[in-house]
Chain A
Amino acid sequence: MIVLEKRPQPSRMWTLLTPVLAVLSTMVFGGLLFALLGKNPVEAIRTIFYEPLFGEFAFYYRPQLLVKGAPLVLIAIGLSLGFKAGIWNIGAEGQYIMGAIVGAGVGLAFYPLDSIIVFPLMVIGGAFGGWAWAMVPALLKVRFGTNEILVSLMLVYVAEQLLASMSLGLLKNPEGFGFPGSRNLTEYASATSWINQDVGMHWGVVFAFIAVIFAYVLLNRHMLGFHIRLTGEAPRAARFAGVRPTRLILFCLGTSGALAGLAGLFEVSGPGGQITIDFNIGYGFTAIIVAFLGRLHPLGILLAGGLMALTYIGGEIAQSQLGLPAAAIQVFQGMLLFFLLALDLLTNYRVRLRAREVA
């Protein structure tokens, strides 16, 4: 008989091993799914994981990995701080949208001024937009004890409505013949986040790396980081140690909001180009997967962000080259989180084989 026995402490070995096992299981079961769809599973898996990195057009896809991975890492780093402390910001998508709107709004307000000051102001605007949006669930939680999961999630839909309204009204391109969508910021040299489009470098990529380093230092070398970890691991001990939950909630939600807002700003002024009704494509939600896949560890998140970007880009290639349906790729990505969560069982429990007791 198989018995699960709770470990006194989460296994360190399994903590590191489960993501790898999850990826492998996803490959196996994903391959099975592709085979059932009548595609060659080996070819499909190879296309997804190998083609973007070393295939014929890798010179184009490698930079795209940066473009796709940067917002995921930036948002996931912010989320991981809160998640570690048991503060659940599920609404990064909304904060991402608000960052983009405020940041792009700042840039468009200066159009067509050619000045070095425009972009830094947009960056501040982007961070502020995301931060302010995250402050709503934060303040409500601190003041009235509301559930931040629900409030932050619901605010995503409010942000989406605002985005639609902005694309159709205030930020609409006056030279766009009445069609929705703002001016294209990539055509406004002072306001674009691109550094070098050919190698996929924009300021969002730079900030993502900086965020990883900062988060690492914060969590390992700083008192605040210690408080965050302590609150998550032993809330009672944290209270005795004098951790003020109010400050922690405001800090974690605020930081994750600001980082999500920055991701939105860099996206809208670079790869996205303009505020449109469909500007957001789920980075804020995918980043939750990235944060957990990376074990809420800054370096892990960096790797997980890269892996997620790889499945996106490879998935697109598999779609157009092998004719795999888009939904199959989404299922494939979903499997990754599923297996990770399932295998996490091994981190906290020990599997024991025990002889059946004789009655």
Chain B
Amino acid sequence: MKLTSLLASAAMVLGLATGAIAQDKTKVGFIYVGPVGDGGWTYEHDKGRQAVEAEFGDKVETVYQESVPEGADAERAITQMALNGADLIFTTSFGYMDPTINVAKKFPNVKFEHATGYKTADNVAVYSARFYEGRAIQGHIAGKMTKSNIIGYIGSYPIPEVIRGMNSAFIHARKANPDVQFKIVWAYTWFDPAKEADAAKVLIEQGADVILQHTDSTAPQAAAKAAGNVITFGQASDMSEYAPLPRVSSIIDNWAPYYIERTQAVMDGTWASSNRWDGIDKGMVGIGEISDAVPAEVKAEALALKDAIASGEYHPFTGPLNKQDGSVWLAEGEVADDGTLAGLNFYVEGIEGDIPN
């Protein structure tokens, strides 16, 4: 017998066996790339998991596995969850894309949700948040606050999601302060406190007095605090333990509403594959409390920007915008479409350096 059918029948047998006692209990699994205590990305996904438990109480059972490497091990971790009877599995990092698709083929009756990827199937949906909306607000505050006019940016991997954030932050930092320059360091990790701290220190030594990060730990915050006179923003999570300084605001990923909605859909039998990309308006992206270290007028401007984005009145990628090489990307008043944004692989005009290639 092929493993595919073997797995499927095993899953069915298990479903029948446990069906009698736990008919109403929906099992929801989560695969995390970092530890649940990372204080950033994984921490927020785990808060989403807890929200699912709080919402449905006895009707759900949640399981998770943390620090799962992206690659061969991920496939086993996901398979294991499906074998153990999960009805819905959230795989919460880009690198789980192919493993998720592979496992989904073997378990047609299990629903899968992959964060930040682009491959879908009948039982695989993808979801992400429009973090770039939050980056616009960050960029504005950063542009206003910097005295050295050098903003440091810790990149994780040069994938569209990260490049989108850099562009959005840069565009709005330049609008607030035409002399702003970005210095970018690629850490090639989502979570590695030691590397992140090193990256922050390098940027600070190069004169950056604002540090933006697209990595998940609080190490850059700690490095900024130690250096003094450097401001930071919470990434993925509020990181409010570093407020009011160095952390002056944050982008908060709020996955709870989405996780609850999708779990409900599985319970109701209405789940269907989809491609969700929500932003500030739906609450998937939150802006953390802007601390008193930010002057009142800058804070007011930032909040006005947030409202304009939430209401749909303003899009962070609105022309005129040129690509790095000076060629026209968006004409006056033109707004970037989601397709281009999803695959964004170039810097806008003004950012120096090359995307690693």
A interface residue numbers (CB < 8 A to B): 57, 59-60, 64, 67, 160, 164-165, 168-169, 177-180, 184, 197-198, 267, 271-274, 276-279, 281, 313, 316-317, 319-321, 323, 325-327
- Kindly state the separation between the CA atoms of A255 and B342 in the bound complex, as whole angstroms: 45
- Kindly state the separation between the CA atoms of A317 and B68 in the bound complex, as whole angstroms: 12
Within 8 Å CB of B188, what residues of A?
Answer: 160, 164, 277
Within 8 Å CB of B83, what residues of A?
Answer: 57, 60
- Kindly state the separation between the CA atoms of A88 and B161 in the bound complex, as whole angstroms: 42
Is B237 positioned at the interface, with any CB of A under 8 Å from its CB? no
> Closest CB of chain B to A18's CB: distance in Å?
30
- Kindly state the separation between the CA atoms of A54 and B201 in the bound complex, as whole angstroms: 50
- Interface residues of B, dominant DSSP: mixed
Contact across chains for B71 and A281 when beta carbons are under 8 A apart: yes
Within 8 Å CB of B345, what residues of A?
Answer: 178
Is B157 positioned at the interface, with any CB of A under 8 Å from its CB? yes
Contact across chains for B76 and A276 when beta carbons are under 8 A apart: no
> Closest CB of chain B to A90's CB: distance in Å?
19
Give the residues from 190 to 241 in chain B that come closer than 8 angstroms, CB to CB, to chain A. Answer: none
B interface residue numbers (CB < 8 A to A): 2-3, 6-7, 10, 29, 35, 63-67, 69-73, 75-77, 79-81, 83-84, 94-95, 98, 118, 157-160, 188, 342-345, 356-357
> Closest CB of chain A to B247's CB: distance in Å?
26
Within 8 Å CB of A273, what residues of B?
Answer: 71-72, 98
Known: A177-B343, A184-B98. A326 touches B67 (CB 8 A): yes
* The 3 nearest A-B residue pairs measured at CB: A198-B3, A271-B72, A326-B67
- Kindly state the separation between the CA atoms of A189 and B357 in the bound complex, as whole angstroms: 28
Contact across chains for B118 and A316 when beta carbons are under 8 A apart: no
Contact across chains for A316 and B76 when beta carbons are under 8 A apart: yes
- Kindly state the separation between the CA atoms of A145 and B171 in the bound complex, as whole angstroms: 53
- Kindly state the separation between the CA atoms of A253 and B159 in the bound complex, as whole angstroms: 37
Chain B residue at smallest Cβ distance from A67 = B72
Contact across chains for A320 and B118 when beta carbons are under 8 A apart: no
Contact across chains for A320 and B84 when beta carbons are under 8 A apart: yes
Within 8 Å CB of B157, what residues of A?
Answer: 180, 277
Within 8 Å CB of B6, what residues of A?
Answer: 59, 198
Contact across chains for A165 and B95 when beta carbons are under 8 A apart: no
- Kindly state the separation between the CA atoms of A271 and B77 in the bound complex, as whole angstroms: 13
- Kindly state the separation between the CA atoms of A179 and B73 in the bound complex, as whole angstroms: 20
**Cβ-neighbour of B80 out of A59, A274, A317 (below 8 A):** A317
Within 8 Å CB of B79, what residues of A?
Answer: 60
**Cβ-neighbour of A281 out of B73, B80, B98, B342 (below 8 A):** B73
Apart from A57-B84, A316-B65: 13 A-B pairs, beta carbons within 8 A: A57-B80, A60-B10, A60-B80, A64-B76, A160-B188, A168-B356, A169-B356, A180-B159, A198-B3, A271-B75, A278-B70, A316-B80, A325-B66
Contact across chains for A320 and B71 when beta carbons are under 8 A apart: no
Contact across chains for A274 and B35 when beta carbons are under 8 A apart: no
Interchain residue pairs with CB less than 8 A apart (9): A178-B345, A179-B159, A180-B158, A198-B2, A278-B95, A313-B76, A316-B73, A316-B77, A320-B77
Contact across chains for A60 and B118 when beta carbons are under 8 A apart: no
Contact across chains for A278 and B69 when beta carbons are under 8 A apart: yes
Chain B residue at smallest Cβ distance from A59 = B6
Within 8 Å CB of A197, what residues of B?
Answer: 3
Chain B residue at smallest Cβ distance from A64 = B76
> Closest CB of chain B to A328's CB: distance in Å?
11
Chain A residue at smallest Cβ distance from B116 = A179
- Kindly state the separation between the CA atoms of A327 and B65 in the bound complex, as whole angstroms: 11
**Cβ-neighbour of B35 out of A59, A267, A313, A326 (below 8 A):** A326
Chain B residue at smallest Cβ distance from A278 = B70
**Cβ-neighbour of A164 out of B65, B160, B356 (below 8 A):** B356
- Kindly state the separation between the CA atoms of A160 and B186 in the bound complex, as whole angstroms: 13
Within 8 Å CB of A57, what residues of B?
Answer: 10, 80, 83-84
- Kindly state the separation between the CA atoms of A180 and B2 in the bound complex, as whole angstroms: 32
Contact across chains for B72 and A272 when beta carbons are under 8 A apart: yes
Chain B residue at smallest Cβ distance from A179 = B159
**Cβ-neighbour of A327 out of B29, B35, B94 (below 8 A):** B35
Contact across chains for A276 and B70 when beta carbons are under 8 A apart: yes
Chain A residue at smallest Cβ distance from B71 = A272
Within 8 Å CB of A326, what residues of B?
Answer: 35, 65-67
